[in-house]
Chain A
Amino acid sequence: MAITRIPDTSHEPLLWEYAASRESADIVSLDEKYGLFIDGELRAPKSRKYFPTINPASEEELAQVAEAGKADVDDAVASARTAYEDVWGPMAPAERAKYIFRIARMIQERSRELAVLETLDGGKPIKESRDVDLPLVAGHFFYYAGWADKLEYAFPGITPKPLGVAGQVIPWNFPMLMLAWKVAPALAAGNTVVLKPAETTPLTALVFAELTAEAGLPPGVLNVVTGAGGTGSLVVTHDDVDKVAFTGSTAVGKLIQSELAGTSKRLTLELGGKGAHVIFEDAPLDQAVEGVINGIFFNQGHVCCAGSRLFVEESIHDRFVDKLKRRLNTLRVGDPMDKNTDIGAINSRAQLEKIEELVDSGRSEGAEIFQPDCELPTSGFFFRPTLFTGVSQSHRIAQEEIFGPVLSILSFRTPEEAVEKANNTPYGLSAGIWTTKGSRILWMADRMKAGVVWANTFNKFDPSSPFGGYKESGFGREGGRHGLLAYMDLGET
């Protein structure tokens, strides 16, 4: 009879380090200097001013970009007006649709190049720009292209009419996606556009503009004027702009709202948030951990709908926090161009300083900080993923939007208390609910004062799904059928 060998358990485990796996930047060829995209071509700014845009992961300059002044914005708006009146407005809707479809296809064709450029200019991990941003960008154009010749079915009782020239100002966290959210519905509804990208991330908008020219989009239908806040202000206050759409901070949104007081320009605002993420005892805990991680560390936490306030039912608080901490230790922070990077570069030095300042306030207000001891690159702007436990509603880190990879954890005892605390904020953009009890999901969803409620999931986006806030998170919706309304005249039959 054979003798059983007791399987031993003495094999040395493999400490598995992932070798660097850098996406090649060669696919992108950048000009040294970029002009403004006006009337279908890139042209030197009348302002004669340029500013550098850098790679936040290396602090190296990528290109010089024009800073549009008043004369430039005037030109862009005039070009948009002419295109609206002579070409885009009168064009048969089915023809407009085909241009937008064509743009969607060309984005798909060049998606790798655009993803790489997005990561170089903005610092987000290549896996996100490749797997999230660019597919959604193409999806948005494809979705709205199909609406262009079906507008009469979108809203009962309304004869579809465009508004005219749309002035759009977009942020740096999802440069191309925010462009898509604004440009696609505006063009589909028959408007022409003057777009002002964020000053730290102007490059994909400029390459996109060239792409539209290649697609044969008539000159003037899309104009891109780069610059900082001053340029944005020139766009939104321009007398010949009929519609203003802004995504960005609540502070700037309020500024725009006040600049537009006394006018009847149509306005939509998509502003800040301090999303509440509520975890009940009966939640699918391991998926909830992923939801929370994704909710706050996706795109370095530079997400207006980030789940930055976590409310955990007291009965599972410690266990859940332990799971979160363990998960935090597996996050890979570093070179955004590495395909395995989970958390890339903070978009700018100014943003990094703001995050540092708020994290310091969390410490000094007595919350307990947890950060994994991962190594950070020596150049560029980086910040460790951060948890705060023992946070009170009154702490600044529970009230102010940090817009970085920082999660504030609080606890609750009953659903009523969770709702009360979740809604106890001037913001109202997003909320998350994790529980397996269906009736409780619907009860909670009804009570959350937030424009997007993710139940047993988080940070999901889709071209067909409306997005936008309650209260100081702004008004109007982007995405879906609702997103068209912002670009249509409400004149009724």
Chain B
Amino acid sequence: MSRVGVKKTYKLYIGGQFPRSESGRSYAALGADGEVLARVAQGSRKDLRDAVRIARGAQESWVGRTGYNRGQILYRIAETLEDRAGTFVEQLMATGSTKKQASDEVAASVDRMVWYAGWADKFAQIFGNLNPVSGPFFNISSPEATGVVGVIAPEEPGLLGLVSRLAPVLVPGNTTVVLASEKNPMPAITFTEVLDTSDVPGGVVNVLTGFKDELIPWLADHMDVNAVDAGGATREQATRVQEGAVHNVKRVVLPSSNGADQSPYRIAAFTETKTVWHPKGL
């Protein structure tokens, strides 16, 4: 007799915890053949509200860490990701990737995370500037995290898309609320377990699974979200983000302004340049 397997419950990731949706809802994540892989939590506007509140609470401490420390934590994510490669390959294959495609995607995701980890203690040197003003002043510009950033992860590829959008947002010290791929949410959920075991402080990354059309308006309109990476949004969804952004002058990165997936300008898009002046005198 074969043993009865124990199935996992796929939940949200908010504040370093794995709650169910407060709405009590879930939806079926389907495999390539249309079979139900699992039921995953269907996040609600209240879950999103909680996630934003927690992300805001975590931001001061995350940005207050040194770049070196954030870099180490991001590198630790890469280590744990590599360690869980098997699970990710299985999940990617379940949604239609070949074994090779899945392995390549996982490898690329690990490498991308390592690449961004290395930027944490360097990006300010590239995007900052000592400005030679014409007067007796010390004048320096440096990039700072924008604050709380909503990340709309691409539908495809399930893991690499998420990592590519999330990592650059974390590098300068933003905290995030991520809307996972709607049709392929399993890698994102497994990724939250990676985060949870990689020294990432609770609340720095919050991941909601659910229906983007339901959640995006609440994210777009939220007055305590400073920026949204709409890279994984449809054209209509991106427009909805732009419309909501108006309420508090959110910064919006559009799918059309993607640029390269692996670029320090991705980091720069979620920073604010602060310029500090001080007189030089006796």
Given A156-B126, A261-B239, A455-B276, 7 new contacts (CB under 8 A): A257-B245, A453-B276, A465-B139, A466-B275, A471-B249, A492-B260, A492-B265
- B275/A471 in contact, CB under 8 A: no
Contact of A257 among B129, B249, B256, B276 (CB under 8 A): B249
- A468/B273 in contact, CB under 8 A: yes
Contact of A471 among B248, B263, B278 (CB under 8 A): B248
Contact of A453 among B126, B243, B260, B275 (CB under 8 A): B275
- A262/B275 in contact, CB under 8 A: no
- B259/A471 in contact, CB under 8 A: no
Contact of B243 among A258, A271, A445, A452 (CB under 8 A): A258
Chain B: interface residue count, which band? 35 or more
Please report which residues of chain B, range 233-260, place their CB below 8 angstroms from some CB of chain A when the two chains form the complex: 239, 242-243, 245-249, 251, 254, 256-257, 259-260
- A261/B242 in contact, CB under 8 A: yes
Say yes or no: is A425 at the interface (Cβ < 8 Å to chain B). no
Say yes or no: is B2 at the interface (Cβ < 8 Å to chain A). no
Q: Taking CB as reference atom, which chain B residue is nearest A257?
A: B246
Which residues of A have CB within 8 Å of B131?
462, 464-466, 480
Which residues of B have CB within 8 Å of A386?
none
- A264/B273 in contact, CB under 8 A: no
CB-based A-B contact count at 8 angstroms: 124
Which residues of A have CB within 8 Å of B141?
465-466, 477, 480, 482
- Distance A254 CA – B247 CA, assembled complex (angstroms): 7
Which residues of A have CB within 8 Å of B137?
457, 460, 462
- Distance A219 CA – B269 CA, assembled complex (angstroms): 35
Q: Taking CB as reference atom, which chain A residue is nearest B248?
A: A472
- B243/A261 in contact, CB under 8 A: yes
Which residues of A have CB within 8 Å of B254?
264
Counting chain B CB atoms within 10 Å of each CB, the highest count among A426, A467, A491, A492 belongs to: A492
- Residue pairs across A and B with Cβ atoms less than 8 A apart, 13 shown, are A257-B245, A261-B242, A264-B256, A457-B279, A462-B131, A462-B135, A464-B134, A465-B133, A465-B277, A467-B275, A470-B274, A474-B249, A480-B275
Contact of B277 among A254, A260, A452, A475 (CB under 8 A): A452
Which residues of A have CB within 8 Å of B24?
none
Say yes or no: is B157 at the interface (Cβ < 8 Å to chain A). no
- B249/A254 in contact, CB under 8 A: yes
Please report which residues of chain B, range 100-147, place their CB below 8 angstroms from some CB of chain A when the two chains form the complex: 126, 129, 131-135, 137, 139, 141, 146
Contact of A445 among B251, B265, B276 (CB under 8 A): B276
| Nearest 8 Cβ contacts at the A-B interface | A261-B242, A462-B133, A262-B239, A264-B256, A258-B246, A464-B131, A453-B276, A455-B278
Say yes or no: is B213 at the interface (Cβ < 8 Å to chain A). no
Counting chain B CB atoms within 10 Å of each CB, the highest count among A139, A156, A490 belongs to: A490
Using a CB–CB distance below 8 Å, which chain B residues touch chain A? 126, 129, 131-135, 137, 139, 141, 146, 226, 239, 242-243, 245-249, 251, 254, 256-257, 259-260, 263-265, 272-279
Which residues of A have CB within 8 Å of B273?
451, 466, 468, 477, 482
Please report which residues of chain A, range 235-251, place their CB below 8 angstroms from some CB of chain B when the two chains form the complex: 250
Say yes or no: is A441 at the interface (Cβ < 8 Å to chain B). yes
- B134/A462 in contact, CB under 8 A: yes
- A261/B272 in contact, CB under 8 A: no
- A451/B132 in contact, CB under 8 A: no
Chain A: interface residue count, which band? 35 or more
- A157/B264 in contact, CB under 8 A: yes
Q: Taking CB as reference atom, which chain B residue is nearest A260?
A: B242
- Distance A192 CA – B53 CA, assembled complex (angstroms): 44
- Distance A250 CA – B248 CA, assembled complex (angstroms): 10
- B259/A492 in contact, CB under 8 A: yes
B68 CB to closest chain A CB (Å) equals: 16
* A475-B251 CB under 8 A given contacts A441-B278, A455-B277: yes
Which residues of A have CB within 8 Å of B247?
254
Say yes or no: is A399 at the interface (Cβ < 8 Å to chain B). no
- A460/B277 in contact, CB under 8 A: yes
